[in-house]
Amino acid sequence: MDESAIVPARRGPAPSLRIEDIVAAALRLLDRDGAQRFTMRALAAELGVSAMTVYNYVPTKALLLEKAIDSVIDTVPPPDPDARPWDEELRRYAREAWRAQLPHPWIPPLLAEQRIMDRPAQVAARRELLGLFRAAGADDVAAREGVGLFFSLVIGSFVQMAPTLRAGRPTARAEALFEGGLEIVIAGLRSRFQPDM
């Protein structure tokens, strides 16, 4: 999406809102009510402005949801394809990505349901994971399969665990299941990437 679309569309007095304020307010509502109950009208009420004022800054609800997602996932450094050992870097990225989303349990289901896969941080993460897996010995097919498997674990485990969140924190069982699943994925990737070892 062209970032130039996210600017006040009207002329006149200096704007009273900033995009950062709008996104922050949207995050508060999304965290409280979830993505399905989120409306631009409720956001306008949260900001103390009219709905049309919000639309002057962000032309669509879909674009605002993307900006809210970006504000969370952009905080996670992508995998470093040159890091060694590769499995420790994968653990680091998986844990940071998982924990960044804990206060925002609406994100993984929305990513899965809407098939949102083209956000800049997602694209960068897939590219760097491919490099990490190739450096670990994977061919192109195995590396692509590994990326798909990895994101299935991170998003899928979160979707299953989200109803058990307590104030943005997983239960001990949910944490253990995620860690166990991560180790199973790493073991499977290792055997796929380096079958003779």
Instruction: Supply the pTM of this predicted model.
Output: 0.83
Tens of pLDDT, residues 113-129: 888 889 999 999 999 99
CB-based contacts of 32, cutoff 8 Å, min separation 6 = none
Task: Report the pLDDT value the prediction gives residue 5, as an integer from 0 to 100.
Answer: 47
Closest CA to 38 of 59, 62, 9: 62
For the chain, domains (ranges, CATH) are: 3-70 (1.10.10.60), 76-193 (1.10.357.10)
Residue 144 pLDDT greater than 80, yes or no:
yes
In the chain, how long is the greatest CA-to-CA distance?
Answer: 68
CB-based contacts of 109, cutoff 8 Å, min separation 6 = 35, 159, 162
Q: How far is CA 112 from the centre of its chain?
A: 10
Task: Report the pLDDT value the prediction gives residue 162, as an integer from 0 to 100.
Answer: 67
Q: What's the rounded Cα separation, in Å, for the pair 43 and 27?
A: 10
Tens of pLDDT, residues 80-94: 999 999 999 999 999
Average confidence (pLDDT) over 30-46: 95
Residue 24 pLDDT greater than 90, yes or no:
yes
% of the chain surpassing 90 pLDDT: 65
Residue 139 is classified by DSSP as -
Q: How confident is the model at residue 165 (pLDDT cuts 50, 70, 90)?
A: low
CA atoms within 13 A on the CB side of 37: 8
Residue 54 structure tokens: 């919000």
Residue 164 pLDDT greater than 80, yes or no:
no
Give the three-class secondary structure for 169: strand
Q: What's the rounded Cα separation, in Å, for the pair 15 and 33?
A: 28
Residue 10 pLDDT greater than 70, yes or no:
no
Cβ neighbours, 10 Å, residue 48: 10
Region at 48 (left for phi over 0; alpha for psi -120 to 50; beta for the rest) = left
Task: Report the pLDDT value the prediction gives residue 159, as an integer from 0 to 100.
Answer: 74
Residue 15 pLDDT greater than 60, yes or no:
no
